[in-house]
Amino acid sequence: MGAELGNYKSCVSARSTDKELLKHAQDGGIVTSLFAFALEEGIIDGAIVAANKEFAAKYPSKCMMDNSNFDMIEPWRPIPAIVNTKAELIAAAGTKYNISPNVSLLKEATRSFGLDKIGIVGTPCQMQAVRKAQLYPIGMRDVGASIALAVGIFCMENFPYQSILQLVEDHAAMKLESVKKMEIGKGKFWVYGKRGQVVQLPLKITHKYEQPGCHVCLDYVANLADVSTGSVGSPDGWSTVMVRSKIGDSVWGKAMAAGCFETQPIEKVKPGLELVTKLANEKITKNKKTLEGRATFGVGKALRNPYI
């Protein structure tokens, strides 16, 4: 292999120097801090993020709602939203572990939200969607050139909302509304309750709840983002950051110069890039097998392969 981590210009282990922000962050607060810096500096004038019901109640005009009755929206269901301030960013911080269709706001961000310089955070597949929208802008008029900062997050797979419901309320026996944080790490799915209780599930249990569409994905570390980040490879409370594009390099350089992050060389931290590489290879190998299986799925009939 060798291409499993994509092209990148630099890679470090980092965390935000904003202690207040870190209280709300999933790991090193990279996405929240980087967007906060980019907003402050005018590099972006808004960012598409995954918010939730509490956010939507507070900032209703910032969200793209689906057809659900607002009262019926469940805790931990992600709602794509556009944030313009640090307070809004912090209100939307943290990983949701189920599908947030952030790209659905990409065009509207330039229309009714009036953004000229969009920030967007997303999974590797969403970064692929963003780049396809820039190179093949079939239904994305005047959008491509407005994308000012695309931050990708490492992703092994995602879950539909009903899967998270099942995992938390059935397997972990906790009410979703009482959950403070969810996390995948050290080979386990962790659920932290608001009253301090912690439940861990072996990842083996979670596999059957994964979204099927994820099983053809050949990207673990958001190869097409400007900057990609994730907890894997770095110590607790830190995140691994890969700077990939010219835009990413410029924004990350400015954020470092402004003291937004403290960093450690990735070579010096445990478990380091070795683990990232291992997991990337695992994902890609497994999903390549899925693609091969799809080619001979029926009797003389294949399932569709989006890559050919």
Partner 1 sequence: MADKITVGYTHLSGCTGCTVALADNYAGLLTLLDKYVDLKYMPTLADARHIQQVDVSFVEGSVCINDKLAVEEIKETREKSAIVVALGGCACYGNITRFSRGGQQNQPAHEAYLPIGDLIKVDVYIPGCAPTPQMIRNVAVMAYLLLKGTKEQKDLATAFLTPLMKLAAAGTSACFCELMTNVINQGLCMGCGTCAAACPVNAITMEYGKPQGERDLCIKCGACYSQCPRSFFNTDVISQYEAINEAIMAALQ
CB atoms within 10 A of CB 190: 15
Q: Which of 185, 202, 213, 293 binds partner 1 (CB under 8 A)?
A: 213
Which member of 63, 105, 221, 241 binds partner 1 (CB under 8 A)?
A: 105
Q: Is residue 134 at the binding interface for partner 1, with CB under 8 A as the rule? A: yes
Q: Return the number of the residue (245 or 277) whose C-beta is nearest partner 1.
A: 245
Nearer to partner 1, 137 or 235 (CB): 137
206 binds partner 1 (CB under 8 A): no
Residue 124: asked if its preceding bond is cis (omega within 30°), the reply is: no
List the one residue from 140, 221, 232, 273 that touches partner 1 (CB under 8 A): 140
Query: Is residue 122 part of the contact set for partner 1 (CB under 8 A)?
Result: yes
The answer to whether residues 177 and 75 touch, using CB atoms and an 8 Å cutoff, is yes
Binding segment toward partner 1, per CB under 8 A, in 23-31, 53-61, 119-127, 235-243: 119-127
Q: Is residue 72 within the footprint of partner 1 (CB under 8 A)?
A: no
Contacts with partner 1 in 47-66 (CB under 8 A)?
Answer: 66
Of the listed pieces 11-19, 135-143, 235-243, 263-271, which binds partner 1 according to CB under 8 A? 135-143
Judged by CB, which is closer to partner 1: 21, or 82? 82
The residues facing 14 across adjacent strands are: 239, 263
Give one word for 97, left, alpha or beta, with left for phi > 0 and alpha for psi -120 to 50. Answer: left
Binder among 33, 95, 146, 223 for partner 1 (CB under 8 A): 223
Query: Does 103 sit near partner 1 (CB under 8 A)?
Result: yes
Which residue, 128 or 234, has its beta carbon nearer to partner 1? Answer: 128
Contact status: 107 vs partner 1 (CB under 8 A):
yes
When asked if residue 80 is in the footprint of partner 1 (CB under 8 A), the reply is yes
Binding-site size for partner 1 (CB under 8 A) equals 60
Rounded least distance, CB 120 to partner 1, Å: 11
Q: Of these, 24, 161, 188, 205, which contacts partner 1 (CB under 8 A)?
A: 161
3-class DSSP state of 213: helix
Identity of the residue, 14 or 164, whose beta carbon is nearer to partner 1 in the bound complex: 164
If you write DSSP's letter for every residue of 219-273 in order, what string do you get?
A: -SS-TTSSEEEESTTS-TT-EEEEE-SHHHHHHHHHHHHTT-EEEEEGGGSSSHH
Please report, for the chain, how many H helices and E strands are present, in that order.
Answer: 10, 11
Decide: helix, strand or coil at residue 66.
coil
- DSSP structural state of residue 17: S
Residue 67 interacting with partner 1 (CB under 8 A): yes
* Cα–Cα distances in angstroms (integers) from residue 169 to residues 157, 178, 191, in the given order: 20, 10, 10
Q: How far is the CA of 284 from the CAs of 46, 105, 130, 220, 287, in angstroms?
A: 33, 29, 21, 8, 5
Q: Please state, in angstroms and as integers, the Cα–Cα distance from residue 78 to each residue in 54, 156, 173, 248, 249, following that order.
A: 10, 18, 21, 26, 29
Determine the residue type at 199: V
d(CA 143, CA 56): 25
216 forms part of the interface with partner 1 (CB under 8 A): yes
Where does this chain bind partner 1 (CB under 8 A)? Answer: 6-7, 66-68, 77-78, 80, 98-108, 122-123, 125-126, 128-129, 131-145, 158, 160-162, 211-218, 223-224, 245-246, 303-304, 306-307
